[in-house]
Amino acid sequence: MTALVVAGPSGLSEHDGGPRHPEQPSRLVAVMEGVRALGPEHEVVSPAVSEASMDDLARVHERDYLDWLASFCAEGGGDIDADTYARPDSWTAARRAAGAGLAALGELVQRGDGVAFVPVRPPGHHATGNRAMGFCLLNNVAVAAASRTALGERVLIVDWDVHHGNGTQEIFWDDPAVLYVSTHQHPLYPGTGRPGEVGGPAAAGLTLNLPLPAGATGDVVRAALDEEARATIEEFGPDWVLVSCGFDAHRDDPLSDLQLSSGDFAELARVVRDFAPRPGRLALFLEGGYQAEALASSVEATLGALLGGSGRPTAPTSGGPGFAHLRADGATRQRAIEKVRTEADR
């Protein structure tokens, strides 16, 4: 039996932006309903979670930014931009969210087996090294990834949130130890994630963006990962697979226009599981997802697929646009990679 390591939930009551903000504590209630729906036949392990240290955070965030965020929250917080806020308890909540990812990976290392799920808020993948944005204060998946690259390991980050993880891309832009692969609706917030964005001179080709048009269905997203990204992933040879696991590509989500079902997330989970080099090297980090029923059913379907159960997902979707974009974008990526390498050789 594959154990499910659940590091959380963290943020059930903290960091509350009020009932009108889509990134609400109630999201975690729905997420945990999906976990409980897996049933008693699955072993669930809950490691202790503590706040990430400043040294942990400083691997990916600038010290000046961390000091500013801590002070901003201590002084009462407020709106950071049109979408992003902080409250007096947000600094602690954000550090616990980042710490949960570290606890999850630590538990997997200790067990040598299992799959980890990190249900936390605030989410993280839009947070850059020196800026909070897109509901995100600290970049949870980046903190976890950097904890492993610091030990000489290689990390694949698959980001299937409907919004491009600009913060994660920026942090690892020129890092040869991290491969960042993102499927996302484009155009959509934050506007980044074009196929020609391929990484810096030391990591050309290790940023792989797979933008999709509005209306794309699950078959297109699966093809993006299983066909377009697989060769790059296999050549990279990751020691770890971390997933920025947003569920806002669901067709019922109010913030996007992709058309996935919960069954599609189960299929994506099976594809991503194959990228892990061995058991105990796969962890999923909650990012977006803003419709309660879609969140619960998608979490259940995703984790059920990874634990070997059939679950009760709705049928996968197909027939939407996007395949032509994938084929054309592959040529764009290759030209961009060659340009970066040529300029680096000068």
Round to whole Å and give the CA distance between 2 and 307: 6
Of 318, 323, 222, 327, the C-alpha closest to 272 is: 222
Q: Hey, how many other C-beta atoms are within 10 angstroms of the C-beta on 110? A: 13
- 78-87: list long-range contacts, CB under 8 Å, 24+ apart: 80/132, 80/133, 81/132, 81/133, 83/133, 83/134, 83/135, 84/132, 84/133, 84/134, 84/135, 84/136, 84/137, 85/17, 85/21, 86/15, 86/132, 86/137, 87/14, 87/15, 87/16, 87/17
- Residue burial 11-35, b: 16+ Cβ < 10 Å; e: rest: bbebbbbeeeebbbbebbebbbbbb
332 CB contacts (<8 Å, ≥6 apart)?
195, 196
Q: Is 126 a catalytic site residue?
A: yes
Q: Hey, how many other C-beta atoms are within 10 angstroms of the C-beta on 239? A: 17
Instruction: Report which DSSP code applies to 250.
Output: B
Q: Which structure tokens are listed for 44?
A: 């669930």
Relative to beta strand 178-185, strand 207-212 is parallel
157's enclosing H/E stretch is strand 155-159
The position carrying tokens 């067709």 is: 251
Round to whole Å and give the CA distance between 146 and 168: 11
137 CB contacts (<8 Å, ≥6 apart)?
69, 84, 86, 90, 91, 94, 122, 124, 127
Q: Hey, how many other C-beta atoms are within 10 angstroms of the C-beta on 39? A: 11
Given 126, 164, 186, 250, the catalytic residue: 126
Q: Which structure tokens are listed for 150?
A: 């610091």
Catalytic residues, which ones?
126
